[in-house]
A and B are shown apart, each in its own frame.
Chain A
């Protein structure tokens, strides 16, 4: 079945560092891809999505580009802040929104001042 793989389980950074979280997917069709962020004690918050090859999604300084060739949707931010400390989830769904999202295992980002 379809799946999402996030390579990094935990990432530790200092403020102003560059963040990359790797997300690769396996899907039988042409999925839509999503990033969510989850803070302690809260539900996941939608960051952004991309639906076609080479499309870039972005929000709050984070961005990711849909790459069908490498089946990837890596999350990047140029300069992280302590407030970016959270768990980040990559997810995939279908183009029409007809089925539920499949989530990766998440990446915990810790940013120290």
Chain B
């Protein structure tokens, strides 16, 4: 069974540039999470979906960040105008409806210069 796939693995931007991250969850998993992990910190939830619906986006900086999961499968997280403080690893995870533990992808490591 394929795991959670994320791309790209790395991104380097100047402040003000835009970037998109893509996530392909495990087949059959209805719940998809995006976490931000600053260096030497634990993962912090940004947003999560059940199928195509947003369940919680209260921690997503809505002025610059957006996330979609239009068909309830793949998802895209976008940063409109990156800031140095956005430097972190962005992790995608998925889980199934029967309360399995979320499983993570390898993450996208973002550096904003």
Contacts and interface: CB of A to CB of B under 8 A. Distances in A.
A binds B: yes
Interface of A: 32, 34, 36, 41-46, 49, 89, 95-97, 99-106
A43 B106 contact: yes
A32 B95 CA distance: 15
Nearest to A43: B104
Nearest to B91: A43
Contacts of A32: 99
Given A42-B107, A95-B99, A101-B45, 8 more contacts: A43-B93, A43-B105, A97-B31, A97-B95, A97-B98, A97-B100, A99-B55, A106-B40
B43 A105 contact: no
A100 B105 CA distance: 16
B105 A106 contact: no
A55 to B, nearest CB: 14
A64 B10 CA distance: 35
Interface string B78-113: 000000000000010101011111111111000000
